[in-house]
Amino acid sequence: MSERVLRMGMVGGGPGSFIGPVHRRAAELDGRIRLVAGAFSRSPEKSKAAGLSYGIAEDRAYADHRTMLALEALRPDPIDLVAIVTPNDTHFAIARDAMQAGFNVISDKPATATLDEALALEQVVRATGRCYALTYTYTGYPMLREARALIRSGTLGKVRKVAVEYFQGWLADPEELSGNKQAEWRADPARSGIGGSIADIGVHAFNLVEFVSGLRATRLQADLGNVVPGRLLDDDCTLLLRLDNGARGILAVSQIATGERNGLRLRIWGDHGGIDWCHERPDILTLNRADGISEQRHAGWNGLSAAARAGSRLPVGHPEGFIEALANIYGDFANAAHTGGAAGDGLLQGIEEGVRGMALIARAVENNRAASGWSTIDPAA
């Protein structure tokens, strides 16, 4: 019997927004999910306009998420899942309301605006038994799934060091004061939460370390900076990490790295070799072996692990990118929704990873405030 196409309602993704339209394309890419409803903006008029642009029925572009949940529940063909693509401060209430109304939820990161909210949301996921997943987009890239499989199979040996960097330059100037909508809410603690760059891109980097290494980070030391004068939240962040097998890690993220675009790079070294992956060439994973020989693995190659092969739609040599990576997460989510929540092999990132991301932000901000980890280099001191 053919699989039923899942019906999606989106919250956020209004005119001029960044990630909502990307979610719509990714969700629909494989024909398993279709956007049929939404509360796309806090303005009812803009929600209607967005609904029109997405080609959904006029009466399914709602004024707010509560109306969407209430009216969809009355339909013979209601939505199956709610995609949340709004600023951070709204994630908790929308996810809670949607799950309590009986809908599955796929939310963009960070899970919530505070650690307390994330812990409360964890209880809601447990109590309602709904599928809940976070779109840590990079976990959808086939070559990061290959890196994860290589480490799980022992190819690198014991992991001893991780280094993740995520450098952007788009907030090198006070963009939040010049009408840039994306910058405005990210720089506002009331809408973003207590973290700036650490909440916006640090959680991606942190999640990747844990996703690919299969290890958990247990301790950190943080150096957070508000480099642009007057900015209320961090725009630059360096963390030292300790992982639960004793490995050491460096996590460096910045949004004031002038001239950088979306420079995410992950390196992990074990006692037999290391992996190196860079977002500007996401279809390649480099494996550096202890004997000095390096090997490049390419997305779409038949010799990859099953998880990586399943993440490519095209043969080797035909690049795929960000939308396809997000589509892989939507595919995993569709599998989980069809099977009642059994997420495939730990690929889907859920509330546990959401809580960990929020704990990272909270502990990094606390640790940075305590500023206890510095020593002078002054030879005379």
Q: Cα 342 to chain center, whole Å?
A: 20
**At closest approach, how far in Å is the CB of 218 from ligand NAD?**
25
Binder to ligand NAD among 114, 135, 328, 367 (CB under 6 A)? 135
CB of 50 or CB of 336, closer to ligand NAD: 50
354 is an interface residue for ligand NAD by CB under 6 A: no
Site string for ligand NAD, 32-71 (x = CB under 6 A): -------xxxx----------------------x------
Contacts of 169 (CB under 8 A, 6+ apart): 255, 256, 257, 258, 259, 260, 261
- Residues binding ligand NAD: number (CB under 6 A): 26
Ramachandran quadrant class, 317 (left: phi over 0; alpha: psi -120 to 50; beta: rest): left
Closest distance to ligand NAD from the beta carbon of 148 (Å)? 18
Q: How far is the CB of 206 from ligand NAD (least distance, A)?
A: 14
**CA–CA dist 371, 180 (Å, integer):** 32
Q: How far is CA 224 from CA 121, 247, 361, in A?
A: 27, 22, 11
Cβ-count burial of 38 within 10 angstroms (0-12 exposed, 13-18 middle, 19+ buried)?
Answer: buried
- H-helix or E-strand containing 166? strand 159-167
Beta-strand relationship, 104-107 and 132-134: parallel
**Interaction residues for ligand NAD, span 302-321 (CB under 6 A):** none
Distance CA 190, CA 144 (A): 34
Site for ligand NAD in 105-124 (CB under 6 A): 108-109
Number of helical H runs and strand E runs in the chain: 13, 13
Instruction: Choose which of 155, 180, 182, 226 interacts with ligand NAD (CB under 6 A).
Output: 182
Please identify, among the stretches 29-37, 86-94, 221-229, 335-343, the one whose residues bind ligand NAD according to the rule CB under 6 A: 86-94
| 207 forms part of the interface with ligand NAD (CB under 6 A) | no
Instruction: Output the smallest distance, CB 38 to ligand NAD, in A.
Output: 8
Whose Cβ is closer to ligand NAD: residue 49's or residue 359's?
49
Q: Which stretch binds ligand NAD (CB under 6 A): 82-90, 169-177, 298-306, 366-374?
A: 82-90
Question: From CA 239, how far away is CA 250, in angstroms rounded?
Answer: 6
Q: How far is the CB of 269 from ligand NAD (least distance, A)?
A: 26
Residues 148 and 307: their CA atoms lie apart, in Å, by: 9
Question: 2 to 31, contacts with ligand NAD by CB under 6 A?
Answer: 11-14, 17-20
Q: How far is the CB of 244 from ligand NAD (least distance, A)?
A: 26
Please answer whether residues 7 and 37 qualify as being in contact, where contact means their C-beta atoms are separated by less than 8 angstroms: yes
Choose which of 9, 51, 87, 270 interacts with ligand NAD (CB under 6 A).
Answer: 87
CB of 309 to ligand NAD, least distance (A): 23
Give the three-state DSSP class for 8.
Answer: strand
For position 215 contacting ligand NAD by CB under 6 A, the verdict is no
Q: What is the nearest approach in angstroms of ligand NAD to the Cβ of residue 137?
A: 4
In whole angstroms, the minimum distance from the beta carbon of 21 to ligand NAD comes to 9
> Taking CB positions, which residue lies at the least distance from ligand NAD?
14
Nearer to ligand NAD by Cβ, of 14 and 249: the residue is 14
Q: Binding ligand NAD by CB under 6 A: which of 66, 181, 338, 363?
A: 181
Contact 156, 285 (CB under 8 A): no
- From the list 112, 128, 137, 367, which residue makes contact with ligand NAD (rule: CB under 6 A)? 137
CB of 135 to ligand NAD, least distance (A): 5
Q: What's the 3-state SS for 297-366?
A: EECCCCCCCHHHHCCCCCCCCCCCCHHHHHHHHHHHHHHHHHCCCCCHHHCCECHHHHHHHHHHHHHHHH
CB contact at 8 A, 264 and 205: yes
Interface contacts to ligand NAD, rule CB under 6 A: 11-14, 17-20, 39-42, 65, 85-88, 90, 108-109, 135, 137, 181-182, 185, 200
